Amino acid sequence: MLQISLWKRALILIVVLIGIVFAAPNVFYNRVEGHNDALSAEAKGNALTPEQQAARASWPDWLPSDIINLGLDLRGGAQLLAQVNVTEVYKARVDGLWPEFRKALADERATLGSIRRVKSDPGVLRIQIGNADQIQEALRIAETLNTPLASLTGVGQKTLAITAEGNQLVIQLSDAEKASTDDRTMQQSLEIVRRRIDAAGTREPTIVREGSDRILIQVPGASSAQEIKQLIGTTAKLTFNSVIGTTSNPNQATGTDEEILPAADQQGLYYILDPLPVVTGEDLTDARPDTDQNGYPAVAFRFNASAARTFGDYTQANIGKPFAIVLDNKVISAPTIQSHIAGGSGIITGRFTVKEATDLALLLRAGALPASMTFLEERTIGPELGADSIAAGKLAAAVGAVLVVVFMVASYGLFGVFASVALGINIALIFAIMSLIGGTLTLPGIAGIVLTMGTAVDANVLVFERIREELRIAKKPARAIELGYERAMSAIIDANVTTFLTAVILFVLGAGPVRGFAVTFLIGIVTSVFTAIWVTRLFVSLWFAHRRPKELVL
């Protein structure tokens, strides 16, 4: 156990070296004045000042340059809590059903009599027929248009709730479909908000769903909440265009009625399009993951009444030809028209995975916000408060580290020095992993790192105390060290597994500050086990192989 094979030594050293390399930019960049401002200016496409250019060039390009992003409480910025008015989507969905039901009922006008839509509450479609005694026949016809719910949680349920009241059909979304629509609406709103904020070049905004119909938006570095509200309120451009051809040359000469746009998912591929769209994203009422006739993932879509007629005529005249779905001046898909798409609905097929079909449906719906947002809370946090928090966090970390090192060295001498060096490596690994995953450091996250400093040496204490016990019963140094690591292992694993599970529960069930604390603490648990068991053992092994002590005082 004391002797570590060569490949294990090499692996430990490689992990430690990689950790230090990936953690180094966090220390370096914080010492370079203006570097973070340079990153922000670059992301927004602004020209860099000479000082910012020098800051950007001061770190070698061939080394990793990812750094931990500072959260809102450390960097300052804007926070908004928005409520999505999901009931507006119900109205749009139900309004889009009227042309389809009108056509189906009109085919039986001789039996049903006159057919007209009457005024009703938002999200409810009321259709009055002339012959009241034929309402059951009208109900039967309407039910033929009631499709099964396309959701794993709604197996056996229908999308619509259709009832009869006197000589009127009352049509609205079923409760299951409303729940599914709410979920899709929130996903769509999150995607749109994220795309619009990311497009502005901000670094690592936090955009998360809270509750059933709210979105929490935190944008570090933003100057005001009003700036973010204006950014969210802008309209993304979604169009459906005719495809003239493809090319690999973005600068190819084109006609006056042609434009070249890049493919979003295939580098080097460009589409030559008719710049006049057939229909636009403003005409799209819904898009959702579905399956084709062979059971493969696809995307179902639906247009409003006027766009349905336009798109139907276009597809009838262009069967076998591709058409492009363009979002933010990029072609996200260019499916081939297989048949006449009447009624304003159809499916987009391709070699999609389930995730790709879901993402495409989100992108199709992300052309415009599905419903308006009401901002319930707006806050702007100045950078001065964040600077004070960072200073306090640094002080707490420094004091904690010094106290831990003093205690370990005073208690265990040279072995305490080994544990202290491993503690430094542990912190470097935490920063490295946070940088690699693009993590955001918050004030509670700093608390998690400080706590990790105290708990990281627990495993070393267990091992060292076990070695002491073995030495007391006259074990030789090599055997005592070997048994110390071997017999303390189970206690170390048990203690850290239970702590890890607790941190996982905090991460899953917590939100905001609790989750920020849980992230750093989770990473710290993993890195502390590695450094305590393997890094310190490597130090002890190398020291013992060099000194070969006959006695060991610990």
**Distance (Å) of CA 296 to CA 148, 153, 222, 293:** 18, 19, 43, 8
Q: How many residues does the chain have?
A: 554
Q: What is the model's pLDDT at position 456?
A: 83
d(C-alpha 544, C-alpha 36), whole Å: 45
- What average pLDDT does the segment 342-364 reach? 73
pLDDT in tens, 79-88: 889 998 888 8
pLDDT in tens, 308-325: 888 888 888 989 888 888
pLDDT in tens, 158-187: 889 999 988 999 999 988 888 888 888 888
- Please tell me whether residue 82 adopts helix, strand or coil conformation: strand
Q: What token pair was written down for 394?
A: 């640094």
Segment holding 531, helix H or strand E = none
241 contacts: CB under 8 Å, gap ≥ 6: 273, 274, 275, 276, 277, 278, 323, 324, 326
- Report whether 244 contacts 274 (CB < 8 A): yes
pLDDT tops 60 at residue 51: no
336 contacts: CB under 8 Å, gap ≥ 6: 320, 321, 322
Segment holding 8, helix H or strand E = helix 6-31
- How would you list the strands of the sheet with 125-129, edge to edge? 115-118, 125-129, 168-173, 160-165
d(C-alpha 347, C-alpha 288), whole Å: 9
Place of tokens 């408060």: 385
- Report whether 235 contacts 368 (CB < 8 A): yes
Q: What is the model's pLDDT at position 227?
A: 76
Q: Which of 320, 321, 237, 235 is nearest to 279 (CA)?
A: 237
Count H helices and E strands in the chain, helices first. Answer: 18, 19
pLDDT in tens, 107-130: 888 888 889 888 888 889 999 999
- What average pLDDT does the segment 388-403 reach? 81
Q: Which residue has the higher pLDDT, 48 or 6?
A: 6
Place 35 in a pLDDT band, splitting at 50, 70 and 90.
very low
pLDDT tops 90 at residue 421: yes
Q: Is 62 exposed, middle or buried (0-12, 13-18, 19+ CB in 10 A)?
A: exposed
d(C-alpha 523, C-alpha 157), whole Å: 43
Q: Is 104 exposed, middle or buried (0-12, 13-18, 19+ CB in 10 A)?
A: middle
d(C-alpha 369, C-alpha 366), whole Å: 7
Place 271 in a pLDDT band, splitting at 50, 70 and 90.
very high
Angle value at C-alpha 134, between 132 and 140, nearest 5 degrees: 130
| pLDDT above 90 as % of the chain | 12
61 contacts: CB under 8 Å, gap ≥ 6: none
d(C-alpha 204, C-alpha 30), whole Å: 18
By 3-state DSSP, what share of the chain in percent is helix, strand and coil, each rounded to 5? 55, 20, 25
To the question of pTM greater than 0.75 for the whole model, the response is: no
Q: Is 268 exposed, middle or buried (0-12, 13-18, 19+ CB in 10 A)?
A: exposed
pLDDT in tens, 186-207: 888 888 888 777 655 555 677 8
DSSP-derived pairing of the beta strands 214-220 and 77-84: antiparallel
